[in-house]
Amino acid sequence: MTALAVRDLQKSFGGLRVTQQIHLEIAPGERRLIIGPNGAGKTTLFNLIAGDLRPDGGSIALFGQPITRLPARARAHLGLARTYQIITLFPKDTLLRNVTLSLLGLSRLRWNPLARLDRQAHLIAQAESALARVGLGAMAHRSLAETSYGERRRVEIAMALAQNPRVLLLDEPFAGLSIDERGEVKALLAAIPRDITIVMIEHDMDVALDFADRISVMHFGAIAVEGTRAEVVADPRTKEIYLGE
């Protein structure tokens, strides 16, 4: 059984075809890297998998269960979590509150407008545990506005991990980070256990290639090259896509 199966996925915006007949099969526990130039359709692919967009054709299955027509919230309940290319957090709230709020979507408390979040001990404990996993446990009560960009990236990963995902989609987790911050996030991702399947979009190939078991290269909305690191680097189509040669 595959962790994530994408078959013939298609999406157009008007006359512009953004993804065309994408086919992916990702094994449980795999670390899959998706690379490609700007405009290749990588983030659109994530939006389709996560349920933020509806495809025009094709199918998506999570551990054998069809999810193509399920809303994003239902996919989260089935074990799919993601981060975003552009950080979307609450700067005036603490790190702990940001992560706790992310857990509300999976809790029945989201239907109770009278429930006080600061009294939900089980949610707070989960959030504290997630922050500790990304090395931010000691900063839990600090305002997000008082943190660095790299720390905010780690808060986003903590929010996703707090949901106990089976498949984690990471959209450019190294974007905008310093060399030291990249090292910290790289170590964090390496420590995530293999019972979580990870699919990552990344532009920084030097940082990301070591992470991947397999690599998919997107170009003009399609998978142009796929294989191991050695196979992808050696394929002349990869050089052509990135260097135009």
* pLDDT tens digits for range 111-134: 445 456 666 678 888 999 999 999
Res. 58 pLDDT band, cuts 50 70 90: very high
Res. 183 pLDDT band, cuts 50 70 90: confident
pLDDT of 113: 52
Pairing of strands 57-62, 65-66: antiparallel
Rounded Cα gap, residues 85 and 175, in angstroms: 8
Mean pLDDT of the region 199-203:
90
Lowest-confidence segment of 43-52, 112-121, 148-157 by average pLDDT: 112-121
The rounded percent of the chain whose pLDDT value lies above 70 is 91
Question: What distances in angstroms separate CA 154 from CA 45, 68, 139, one per listed residue?
Answer: 23, 29, 12
Rounded Cα gap, residues 204 and 200, in angstroms: 11
Mean pLDDT of the region 44-66:
96
Model confidence at 244: pLDDT above 70: no
Contact 154, 136 (CB under 8 A): yes
pLDDT of 239: 84
Which residue did the predictor score with more confidence, 204 or 35?
35
Using DSSP's 3-state secondary structure scheme, residue 201 falls into: strand
Per the prediction, the chain carries an average pLDDT of 89
Model confidence at 54: pLDDT above 90: yes
> For residue 105, how many C-alpha atoms fall within 13 Å in the half-sphere facing its CB?
20
Lowest-confidence segment of 13-17, 20-24, 112-116, 229-233 by average pLDDT: 112-116
Contacts of 42 (CB under 8 A, 6+ apart): 34, 35, 36, 171, 201, 218
Joined together, the tokens standing for residue 38 give: 């700007």
Helix or strand (DSSP H, E) at 81:
strand 80-82
pLDDT of 108: 58
| pTM, full prediction | 0.90
Model confidence at 25: pLDDT above 60: yes
The domain ranges of the chain are 90-164
Pairing of strands 80-82, 65-66: unpaired
Model confidence at 245: pLDDT above 70: no
pLDDT of 211: 86
pLDDT of 90: 82
